[in-house]
Every structure is written in structure tokens, then in C-alpha cells.
């Protein structure tokens, strides 16, 4: 399973920079970033090349952080694909907490990151529907 | 069950009351030697006092009386009989000074020794006094009592948290004395430094100088795996050693051979029935250099009146946890509330860390109440929705408790200011209307 680093942050000027600074200092490379925010505070989500190392660096810096299992799904970069996948999950009552994607491989392929309430079940369902789940070694070497 | 002074601590009620009346009369007579009381007691005839309740025939003494009569106005002994001066910690308003004779220091140390032994601590313990020394009475008060008991006493004071932890490790500290806010902060630093607070040799904690809730006590007990005891005192009445919990922890025994207690209505000063909540009014019964009659403490509490004798067999009255000071009360949108009510709610949520702050502001003509809460890092699982749910749960619980709807702000751990002495929990920025 792919690991994502979730960081709690107050919504104040300079906070994001402070947090990315921790990863930079630890020489951890960011593959993708997503911000789920509220007016006062938010959760920053980082997909990085070495999640354990990034997690340790945050802990040491006194940042409130957790490691989360997420699904990375490879899809063709064309209209309707994300929608199709979400419908399959909904049919099986998988609750998608958060979702983001990015394009790789000269825009032909995309990777969708799914944060769901039951990652193991969601993985099974997607595999049954012939989706390609991307493993950590492949993802982290992007 | 061990006692420091079994005879005094278990004196039957009838004998205790006879002793109180005698000492009250002596105290009033002694007071006449001070400039302040000489005038004030002109129309009092203490020879007619026959029961402790007759104390209510005396006038009150307020903090303002002490201020106006700064410096020696209440002193009843020649200047060269005074061996110690203390000053109030100035929680509210200008400082006041208190003087002690050699006998006073002896008596005070004895009272503190009673408290220490009452918790199960003894001379084999190593005692770290993690509290301000100097003119604040918390430091020297416990220090003298602990030495009297015979404990190895480490006067570590407050601050330099890493060194406090080092001392605990190096000298196997078993008992500490601290404010609740600081000792909780110490536990955070322990964790940061890679220690488990439970792995220290600590077994007993004396927690005082700040009103705190039962939930906070339990949290301290859980974090350190110790037994924590609530302490009550104030510099005007010596300092620590006025009242303390026994192992039963159902109220604090107030030493009635040295203090005569009344609970009054803070608005009109009328004496309330046992069990009713009101302001504690206390008369010193043995103090030599600076006796004080019917002191308005400003502290709100009640007598624990369950009709039962305490199982520890001490006969002295028990008082409840201090709910707050009369002047701690906040009026927010016309509703009376105490910070301790909010603390109680917060500490019942395991996701919440040990530090919080209450911010009062005025938006237009309306008061706003914001509660800043630090998250407990271990409880964060990265889910924003869970945080939102926690926020609404806390909001609802606080609103149920105080009626006013607060705003909840989550903060990163360590972002709220830490205090080493008394914590600043309330920031009132409303100003005058």
C-alpha cells in the first residue's frame, strides 16, 4: 500500500513554507501535494519518495503528523475515467474521504490518489474491475 | 494510616470547637495590639464568645484592608520578633505583605508536614519542589514542611524543564510539588526527549497554586501513573498547608485548630449553611505576628457535607475543590461562567492536549468567546473530517455546560504560551463598553 503523509497545520501565512522546509531539509522529494483546508486549520497531504523518512523528519520537528495508507490507481488520461472509478466504489459503499490526481508519462497516463475509509476492500474492488494499482516502489521512483 | 500529629488531627469535634473558641478569643485580644484592628475592634466584646459561630460578630478583613495598611499595620509583635516576610503572588491586583514570627514559621511548617504525611509521603521520599521560591509562599512553605518530615528536599524551583527532568532521573524523585499547568508541560517535554513519564520513580504529586478541575487531576495521575493531591492555601493565611486532600480524596481537610472557616454569600457577606457554595472566609487561630480575622479569600467552594466522618479518621472539616476566585468569574453575553467549567469539558476529550486558552473579544456590541485548544499529537490520524467532528463535539459539550456558544480553534501542539508559575488561561480583550 502507498503511504501518504498527513500534516496538521494552522491556517496562517508562512505555515506551508515552514512545513515544506522540513521535507527539503531532509532531502525528501515531493511527488504530489494536496491541501484540505478550513478557515482556521487544515490538513496538508504529501506524496513523497520516502514517506518513512519524511514522517520521521516531521516528528523530529515537532509537527503533528500521521502516515496514512492510500490507493494509487493508474488510469488513462481521458474524460470520464475518474467518474467511472468513483461510481464503482460508491456501488460497494466505499466512502472516499479525499481524492486527487496528477498526470505522468507525457500526459497519456494519470495517477489518482484515493483516501478511503477501507483501503483493503477498495483495492480488491478496483482490482476486480481491472484497474491497475500502483505499488509503492513504482510510485516512489516517479 | 499514618499521621504527623495524630492528637491534633483526630481531635473530637466537641474538643476541637472548645479549642477554637479559646483561640479565637486569644486571637481577637492579640489583634488589638495592631494599629489596624485596635480601631476596628472597639465595639467587640470577645469575652462573651461561647461557640465558633460567634466569629460572625467580628468585622471582615479584605485584601484592600491589607493594602491600605501596608506595611506593618496589622503586625502585633515588636519588629525584632519578625523573622520572615512573604508577599502574595499578586494573582489579582497589587501585592500585599505578610509577616511571620519564629513560632509562626514553626506552626506553618507543622501544618504542611501534616499535609505531606496525610498523602502517604514520608521521610524516605525524595521531594522535588518544582515551584517558585522567593516571596511566593508555595516554595518555602512546602520546603520547610518537607524538611520537617525528613524528606530529601530538592529546591529545584520552576523553569529549565530539561534540568527538572534530569534531576528526577538522577535522584529518583518520588514526590513533586508543582502547578497543574507546569507539571503537564513537563510531561510534554519528557515525551519530546524520548522518555515515558510513567517510567520515572514518581509516586505522589502535590498540585496547587491554581484552581484546577478533577479532570485535570486525573489526567496528571494518568500521564505519570501517580497519585495527585490537591492543595489549598494563600499567602495571607501562611500559604500552602491551609487545606489538603487525604488519601480518601473527597475534599480537602482544613486544619480547624489553626483556621476558623466560614462560607459566606460573596454578594452580601451572609453566612451560608454547610454544603452551600460560597466564598471562603477564614480567621487565623494561632498566628502570632500577623493574625487576620474573617479574611475574605475570594475563593469559591463549599463544605463537603455528606454527614459522614472521613474514613481517614481526621475530624477536620473538608472543603471542595476551589471552583474559582470570585473575581475569576466571567460574564459573557450576560451569562456567568468560570474558566474551570470549560477546562472540565476540554480535559474529558483525549484528543485535546493539556494547554488551552480562553479568548474574549467584542464584535460590535456582542461578546465572542474563543477557546484555543492544542491537539494531542498521538491522536492525530490525518483526517480533516474527524477534526471537524471533534470540533463540533467540543463545541456542543462546552455550550451544554456554559450556555454560551464558543468558537473552537485548534492549534498545533506547543503553540500556546507555556507558563512556569500560574498559567494565563483567560485573555479578555473586550475593554470597556
Average pLDDT over residues B360-385: 85
> Is there a single domain that holds both residue A77 and residue A55?
no
> Is there a single domain that holds both residue B317 and residue B405?
no
> Is there a single domain that holds both residue A79 and residue A134?
yes
Whole domain around residue B407: which residue ranges? 329-428
> Is there a single domain that holds both residue B124 and residue B60?
yes
Domain assignment present for B256:
yes
Q: Over 50: is that where the pLDDT of B182 sits?
A: yes
Question: pLDDT band for position B320 (50/70/90)?
Answer: very high
Q: Over 80: is that where the pLDDT of B85 sits?
A: yes
- What lies within 8 Å, CB to CB, of B173 at 6+ separation is B126, B127, B128, B154, B167, B200, B201, B202
> Is there a single domain that holds both residue B143 and residue B20?
yes
CB-based contact A41 B383, cutoff 8 Å:
no
State which of A68, A96, A114 marks the end of a domain.
A68
Angle between helices A81-91 and A119-128 (to 10 degrees): 120
CB-based contact A66 B380, cutoff 8 Å:
yes
Angle between helices B339-347 and B214-224 (to 10 degrees): 40
> Is there a single domain that holds both residue B192 and residue B229?
yes
Min Cα–Cα distance to chain B from A106, Å: 32
> Is there a single domain that holds both residue A7 and residue A58?
yes
Average pLDDT over residues B299-311: 91
State which of B277, B301, B326 marks the end of a domain.
B326
CB-based contact B412 A66, cutoff 8 Å:
no
> Is there a single domain that holds both residue A17 and residue A58?
yes
User: Which chain A residues contact residue B387 at CB under 8 A?
Assistant: 8, 41, 43
Which of A22-31, A99-108, B27-36, B279-288 is predicted with the least confidence, judged by mean pLDDT?
A99-108
Whole domain around residue A32: which residue ranges? 2-68
> Is there a single domain that holds both residue A30 and residue A91?
no
Q: pTM of the predicted model, to two decimals?
A: 0.76
More confident residue, B24 or A80: B24
pLDDT at B427: 87
Nearest CA in chain A to B372: A40
State which of A68, A86, A105 marks the end of a domain.
A68
Q: Over 60: is that where the pLDDT of B308 sits?
A: yes
Q: Which residues of A touch B (CB under 8 A)?
A: 4, 6-10, 36, 38, 40-43, 45, 62-68, 97-98
Q: Over 50: is that where the pLDDT of B265 sits?
A: yes
Q: What is the mean pLDDT of chain A?
A: 89
Cβ neighbours around B309 below 10 Å, total: 10
Residue among A10, A45, A98 whose CB faces B412 most closely: A10
State which of B326, B349, B368 marks the end of a domain.
B326
Which of B37-51, B60-74, B135-149, B195-209 is predicted with the least confidence, judged by mean pLDDT?
B60-74
- Closest CA relative to residue B276, chosen from B268, B264, B267: B264
The verdict on whether omega for the bond into residue B75 sits within 30 degrees of 0, i.e. cis, is no
pLDDT at A10: 87
- Structural domains in chain A (count): 2
> Is there a single domain that holds both residue B126 and residue B261?
yes
Domain assignment present for B86:
yes
Min Cα–Cα distance to chain A from B430, Å: 22
The whole-angstrom separation of Cα B427 and Cα B402 is: 18
> Is there a single domain that holds both residue B317 and residue B345?
no
pLDDT at A71: 94
> Is there a single domain that holds both residue B315 and residue B262?
yes
Question: pLDDT band for position B421 (50/70/90)?
Answer: low
Average pLDDT over residues B277-293: 97
Question: pLDDT band for position A75 (50/70/90)?
Answer: confident
More confident residue, B344 or B221: B221
> Is there a single domain that holds both residue A73 and residue A63?
no
CATH number for the domain spanning B337: value is 3.30.300.30
> Is there a single domain that holds both residue B375 and residue B304?
no
Question: Mutate which of A64, A99, A114, A119 to disrupt the B interface (most B C-beta within 10 Å)?
Answer: A64
CB-based contact A62 B192, cutoff 8 Å:
yes
> Is there a single domain that holds both residue B338 and residue B289?
no
> Is there a single domain that holds both residue A40 and residue A73?
no
Cβ neighbours around B352 below 10 Å, total: 21
The whole-angstrom separation of Cα B225 and Cα B202 is: 8
A63-74: pLDDT as tens digits: 899 999 999 998
Cell numbers of A56, please?
Answer: 520521521
Cα torsion B110, B115, B119, B120 to 10°: value is: 0
Min Cα–Cα distance to chain A from B409, Å: 7
Query: In a 3-state reduction of DSSP, which class is residue B306?
Result: coil
pLDDT at B391: 92
Domain assignment present for B433:
no
> Is there a single domain that holds both residue A76 and residue A134?
yes
> Is there a single domain that holds both residue A89 and residue A58?
no
> Is there a single domain that holds both residue B307 and residue B242?
yes
> Is there a single domain that holds both residue A15 and residue A48?
yes
- Structural domains in chain B (count): 2
State which of A68, A83, A109 marks the end of a domain.
A68
- Closest CA relative to residue B398, chosen from B346, B337, B335: B346
State which of B268, B299, B326 marks the end of a domain.
B326
> Is there a single domain that holds both residue B337 and residue B320?
no
Q: Over 70: is that where the pLDDT of B369 sits?
A: yes
Question: pLDDT band for position B420 (50/70/90)?
Answer: low
Q: Over 60: is that where the pLDDT of B128 sits?
A: yes
Which of A3-17, B114-128, B332-346 is predicted with the least confidence, judged by mean pLDDT?
B332-346
CB-based contact B382 A41, cutoff 8 Å:
no
CB-based contact B412 A64, cutoff 8 Å:
yes
> Is there a single domain that holds both residue B183 and residue B53?
yes
More confident residue, B78 or B159: B78
pLDDT at B94: 59
CB-based contact A64 B388, cutoff 8 Å:
no
pLDDT at A141: 78
> Is there a single domain that holds both residue A106 and residue A46?
no
CATH number for the domain spanning B215: value is 3.40.50.12780
More confident residue, B343 or B278: B278
CATH number for the domain spanning A19: value is 3.30.2130.10
> Is there a single domain that holds both residue A54 and residue A80?
no
Q: Over 50: is that where the pLDDT of B433 sits?
A: no
Q: What is the mean pLDDT of chain B?
A: 91
CB-based contact A62 B413, cutoff 8 Å:
yes
Amino acid at each position: 500500500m502507498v503511504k501518504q503523509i498527513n500534516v496538521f497545520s494552522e491556517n496562517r501565512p508562512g505555515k506551508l513554507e515552514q512545513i515544506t522546509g522540513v521535507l527539503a531539509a531532509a532531502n525528501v522529494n515531493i511527488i504530489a501535494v494536496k491541501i484540505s483546508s478550513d478557515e482556521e486549520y487544515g490538513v496538508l497531504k504529501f506524496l513523497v519518495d520516502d514517506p518513512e523518512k519524511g514522517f520521521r523528519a516531521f516528528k523530529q520537528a515537532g509537527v503533528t503528523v500521521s502516515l496514512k495508507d492510500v490507493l494509487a490507481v493508474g488510469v488513462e488520461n481521458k474524460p470520464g475515467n475518474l467518474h467511472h472509478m468513483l461510481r464503482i466504489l460508491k456501488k460497494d459503499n466505499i466512502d472516499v474521504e479525499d481524492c486527487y490526481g496528477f498526470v505522468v508519462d507525457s500526459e497519456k497516463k494519470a495517477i489518482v490518489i484515493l483516501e478511503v475509509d477501507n483501503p483493503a476492500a477498495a483495492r480488491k474492488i478496483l482490482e476486480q474491475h481491472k484497474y491497475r494499482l500502483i505499488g509503492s516502489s513504482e510510485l516512489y521512483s516517479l | 494510616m499514618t499521621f504527623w500529629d495524630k492528637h491534633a488531627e483526630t481531635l473530637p469535634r466537641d474538643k476541637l470547637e472548645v479549642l477554637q473558641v479559646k483561640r479565637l478569643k486569644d486571637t481577637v485580644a492579640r489583634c488589638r495590639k495592631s494599629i489596624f484592628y485596635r480601631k476596628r475592634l472597639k465595639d467587640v466584646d470577645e469575652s462573651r464568645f461561647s461557640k465558633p459561630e460567634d466569629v460572625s460578630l467580628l468585622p471582615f478583613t479584605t485584601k484592600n484592608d491589607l493594602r491600605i495598611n501596608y506595611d506593618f499595620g496589622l503586625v502585633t509583635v515588636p519588629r525584632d520578633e519578625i523573622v520572615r516576610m512573604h508577599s502574595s503572588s499578586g494573582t489579582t491586583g497589587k501585592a500585599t505583605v505578610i509577616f511571620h514570627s519564629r513560632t509562626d514559621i514553626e506552626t506553618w511548617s507543622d501544618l504542611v508536614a501534616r499535609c505531606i504525611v496525610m498523602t502517604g509521603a514520608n521521610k524516605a521520599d525524595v521531594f522535588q519542589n518544582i515551584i517558585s521560591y522567593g516571596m511566593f509562599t508555595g516554595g518555602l512553605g512546602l520546603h520547610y514542611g518537607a524538611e520537617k518530615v525528613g524528606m530529601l528536599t530538592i529546591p529545584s524551583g520552576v523553569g529549565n524543564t530539561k534540568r527538572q527532568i534530569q534531576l528526577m532521573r538522577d535522584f529518583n524523585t518520588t514526590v513533586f510539588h508543582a502547578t497543574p499547568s507546569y507539571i503537564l508541560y513537563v510531561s510534554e517535554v519528557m515525551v519530546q526527549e524520548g522518555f515515558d513519564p510513567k517510567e520515572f520513580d514518581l509516586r505522589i504529586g502535590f498540585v496547587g497554586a491554581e484552581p484546577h478541575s478533577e479532570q485535570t487531576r486525573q489526567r496528571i495521575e494518568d500521564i505519570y501513573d501517580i497519585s495527585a493531591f490537591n492543595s489549598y492555601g494563600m499567602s495571607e493565611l501562611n500559604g500552602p498547608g491551609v487545606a489538603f486532600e487525604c488519601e480518601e480524596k473527597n475534599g480537602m481537610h482544613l486544619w480547624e485548630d489553626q483556621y476558623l472557616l466560614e462560607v459566606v454569600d460573596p454578594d452580601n457577606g451572609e453566612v451560608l449553611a454547610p454544603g452551600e457554595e460560597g466564598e471562603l472566609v477564614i480567621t487565623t487561630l494561632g498566628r502570632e505576628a500577623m493574625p487576620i480575622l474573617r479574611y475574605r479569600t475570594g475563593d469559591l467552594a463549599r463544605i463537603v457535607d455528606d454527614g459522614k466522618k472521613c474514613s481517614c479518621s481526621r475530624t477536620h472539616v473538608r472543603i471542595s475543590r476551589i471552583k474559582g476566585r470570585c473575581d475569576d468569574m466571567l460574564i459573557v453575553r450576560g451569562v456567568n461562567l468560570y474558566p474551570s467549567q470549560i477546562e472540565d469539558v476540554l480535559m474529558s476529550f483525549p484528543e485535546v492536549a493539556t494547554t488551552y486558552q480562553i479568548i474574549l473579544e467584542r464584535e460590535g456590541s456582542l461578546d465572542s468567546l474563543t477557546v484555543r485548544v492544542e491537539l494531542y499529537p498521538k491522536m492525530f490520524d490525518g483526517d480533516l473530517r474527524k477534526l471537524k467532528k471533534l470540533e463540533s463535539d467540543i463545541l456542543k459539550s462546552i455550550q451544554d455546560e456554559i450556555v454560551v456558544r464558543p468558537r473552537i480553534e485548534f492549534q498545533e501542539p506547543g503553540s500556546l504560551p507555556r507558563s512556569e508559575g500560574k498559567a494565563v488561561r483567560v485573555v479578555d480583550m473586550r475593554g470597556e463598553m
